[in-house]
């Protein structure tokens, strides 16, 4: 009752004091609206900046990958950004260059790419104080892989170890038979020319007869036709459809029924050139020929991985039979994670915008 009286008295104040609440409310509301508006607009700004950066990064890596595979980086960049809901004016035409790139895609010429997206985002409440839009900007720098990942090539362990100890020859054939350097070096391995299938693994891995094959998608034919096998190996040399990493102790069927010349050409068609580094499988030296009842999947056992540098194509680059290379790693690696990224880049990825060191990294 007492409170009611007080409220009544308050409402029946002197005329001069009436309207103060209204005034406070008006000021308070403006202040609060500005505060809430600022909060919302800052949220919108932050959210959009994250979206912009993510889209720039995705676009950059996609473009670098497309370029590496011989496609159009610009088209790949535009396509993926459109799929992510970006309007063309946010990424095209190019604006600025190098460190100052604010929109578009740019090949830096050192193996890296820069991508940026920019747009004007209408503000919400800040429009009240005259700020009608804010600049949203996302940018990313990335590198494309400088190899096709793991090559479907298996090199004998003893050859790798000899190279590690400096025993000549320094260079030898890692793909295609070479009378000076027999990769198979076993009676049963006469079909082996250095290439293996990574889309097919023998299971269980401990059984050298390879009684059952495990097939990896996108390989769906079981067993695959000769044409499919050929295409898979060619694709692997190009670094496409070949994101498979057979671990140590797995057994892989060898590629047979082909010529040195076909393999070498497929390798060159993959874009490999003299000076490129390549990750190969190291096998234990034995090309195991299964007992007749098990079929004909001659196979090798993975003991590790090594990096080779291509030194030349024999007898000549235009019509080659052999890929000659020298060891470029200081040991046999046990897993993908052991291979330093500065030895060979296995994945396209984002790097810092202002990185000034050597590429690839």
Partner 1 sequence: MVTRKEKGQGLTEFALVLPILLLLLLLGIDPFFKAVNIALGKYYTFQAAREASIFLADGTHSCDSWVRGHVSQPTLLMGTAWTLTVTPCPSNPSWSQVSGSTVTATFDWTQSTVWWRGPWTGRMITSDVFQ
| Site of interaction with partner 1 (CB under 8 A) | 6, 9-10, 13, 17, 20-21, 24-25, 28-29, 32-33, 35-36, 39-40, 43-44, 46-47, 50-51, 54, 57-58, 61-62, 65-66, 69, 71, 76, 80, 83-85, 145, 149, 199, 201, 214-218, 235, 239-247, 250, 336, 347-349
- DSSP letter at 260 equals H
Least spacing, CB of residue 228 vs partner 1, in Å: 14
**CA atoms of 334 and 274, how far apart (whole Å):** 26
CB nearer to partner 1: pick between 57 and 301: 57
**CB nearer to partner 1: pick between 71 and 257:** 71
**Residue number with CB closer to partner 1 (37 or 96):** 37
2: left (phi over 0), alpha (psi -120 to 50) or beta: alpha
Contact 257, 226 (CB under 8 A): yes
Beta carbons of 124 and 142 less than 8 angstroms apart: no
Q: φ, ψ for residue 193 (rounded to 5)?
A: -120, 10
Question: By C-beta, is 150 or 184 nearer to partner 1?
Answer: 150
| Shortest distance (Å) from residue 235 CB to partner 1 | 8
Tokens standing for residue 194: 């250095």
Least distance in angstroms from the C-beta of 326 to partner 1? 26
The residue among 80 and 327 lying less far from partner 1, judged by its C-beta, is: 80
Nearest Cα to 275, choosing from 325, 209, 241? 325
Q: Which is nearer to partner 1, 62 or 321 (CB)?
A: 62
What is the closest distance, in whole angstroms, from the C-beta atom of residue 59 to partner 1 in the complex? 10
Q: At its nearest, how many Å lie between partner 1 and the CB of residue 203?
A: 9
Which is nearest to 249 in space by CA: 306, 196, 302, 304?
Answer: 302
Q: In the bound complex, what is the minimum distance in angstroms from residue 219's beta carbon to partner 1?
A: 9
The structure tokens listed for 349 are: 């990825």
CA angle 109, 114, 119 (to 5 degrees): 150
């Amino acid at each position: 009752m007492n409170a009611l009286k007080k409220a009544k008295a308050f409402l029946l104040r002197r005329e001069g004091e009436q309207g103060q609440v209204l005034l406070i409310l008006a000021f308070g509301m403006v202040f609060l609206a500005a505060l809430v508006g600022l909060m919302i607009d800052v949220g919108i700004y932050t959210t959009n900046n994250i979206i912009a950066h993510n889209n720039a990064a995705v676009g950059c890596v996609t473009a670098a990958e497309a370029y590496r595979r011989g496609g159009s980086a610009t088209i790949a960049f535009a396509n993926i950004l459109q799929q992510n809901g970006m309007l063309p004016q946010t990424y095209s035409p190019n604006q600025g260059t190098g460190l100052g790139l604010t929109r578009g895609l740019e090949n830096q010429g050192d193996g890296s790419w820069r991508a940026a997206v920019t747009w004007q985002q209408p503000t919400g409440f800040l429009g009240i104080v005259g700020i009608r839009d804010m600049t949203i900007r996302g940018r990313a720098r990335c590198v494309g892989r400088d190899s096709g990942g793991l090559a479907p090539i298996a090199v004998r362990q003893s050859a790798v170890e000899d190279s590690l100890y400096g025993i000549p020859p320094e260079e030898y054939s890692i793909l295609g038979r070479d009378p000076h350097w027999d990769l198979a070096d076993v009676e049963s391995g006469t079909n082996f020319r250095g290439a293996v299938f990574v889309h097919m693994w023998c299971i269980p891995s401990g059984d050298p007869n390879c009684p059952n094959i495990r097939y990896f998608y996108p390989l769906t034919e079981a067993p695959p036709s000769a044409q499919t096998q050929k295409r898979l190996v060619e694709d692997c040399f190009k670094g496409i459809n070949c994101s498979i990493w057979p671990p140590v102790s797995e057994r892989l069927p060898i590629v047979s029924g082909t010529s040195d010349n076909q393999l070498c050409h497929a390798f060159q068609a993959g874009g490999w050139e003299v000076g490129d580094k390549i990750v190969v499988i190291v096998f234990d030296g034995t090309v195991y020929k299964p007992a007749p009842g098990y079929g004909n999947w001659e196979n090798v056992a993975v003991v590790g991985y090594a990096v080779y540098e291509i030194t030349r194509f024999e007898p000549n680059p235009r019509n080659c039979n052999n890929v000659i290379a020298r060891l470029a790693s200081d040991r046999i690696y046990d897993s993908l994670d052991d291979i330093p990224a500065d030895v060979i880049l296995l994945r396209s990825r984002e790097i810092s915008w202002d990185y000034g060191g050597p590429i690839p990294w």
